Amino acid sequence: MSLRRNIEIEFVAFKDIGTKMRFLSILSAAVVVSVSRAQNLSALEKTLAITEIKNVQSLYGTIIDAKTMKDLSRVFTEDAVANYTVLGIGILTGLPLIIEGMTISQAHDVTQHAMTTSYVDVLDENNANSTAYLTAETYGTGNNIGANNTGQLFTLWLKYEDQFVRTNGSWKIKNRNAVIMGTPLTGNFTPRVIPPPPSSLPIPTATAI
């Protein structure tokens, strides 16, 4: 049975046939517009979008490892919201706060971020959702303030649930949610002490990855 036939059966309660037909016309138009937006993208366009988005995901890790936090402007939109609550950082709203939060939490860490499995769902030419899995290693070098962790290792497994938008020809993260996978914190790190953050930031209680 067709979708249109199902709708007609469900709405037989409309006594005014004109009202019912107008409702069906509006609903049909909305369905057509929604479907056509996704179908308008060719297979090549979807593939290119997925490739670009995965490249942005990888770029995030290289920026954190290199400590070039200002380059996060290539990853997040100006109004982005990053939920790092499970990492003790809280919710960072806006690009400046994201940069500041990552700078404070990562200032004394030597890290390696390895992006593994990821899936990208391209909704239309300007919107996509993704889930990306990540293994992050933090290496003890003795540089952590107040910590004697030379030769020690801290490992974290997590996934990022991201909403991407395409603005000015570039895909960027508009919303990010960090989710811990399995054991929250694994390793033999001595807890480090980091400088108190500005009043605009919550006090971190764990390493931000």
DSSP code string of 19-42: HHHHHHHHHHHHHHHHHHHHHTS-
Q: Extract the tokens encoding 21.
A: 């037909």
Give the residue ranges of DSSP H helices in 67-140: 95-106
What is the residue whose two structure tokens read 């030597």?
A: 110
pLDDT digits (tens, 9 = 90+) for 30-63: 444 444 555 689 999 999 999 999 999 999 999 9
Would you give the DSSP letter of residue 200? Answer: T
pLDDT exceeds cutoff 80 at 8? no
Task: Look up the pTM and report it.
Answer: 0.71
Inter-CA distances, 206 with 21, 26, 112, 139, 192, Å: 58, 51, 17, 15, 9
Q: Which domains does the chain have, with CATH numbers?
A: 43-187 (3.10.450.50)
Averaged pLDDT score across all residues of the chain: 78
Q: Which residue has the higher pLDDT, 41 or 22?
A: 41
> Of all residues in the chain, what percent carry a pLDDT higher than 90?
49
- Rounded to an integer, the average pLDDT of 157-184 is 93
DSSP code string of 141-185: -S-STT---TT-EEEEEEEEEEEEEEETTEEEEEEEEEEE-SSS-
CA angle 70, 92, 174 (to 5 degrees): 75
Please choose, from the candidates 182, 187, 191, 126, the residue with its C-alpha nearest in 3D space to the C-alpha of residue 158.
182
Beta bridge partners of 139: 110, 153
- Rounded to an integer, the average pLDDT of 167-179 is 97
Map residue 206 onto helix, strand or coil: coil
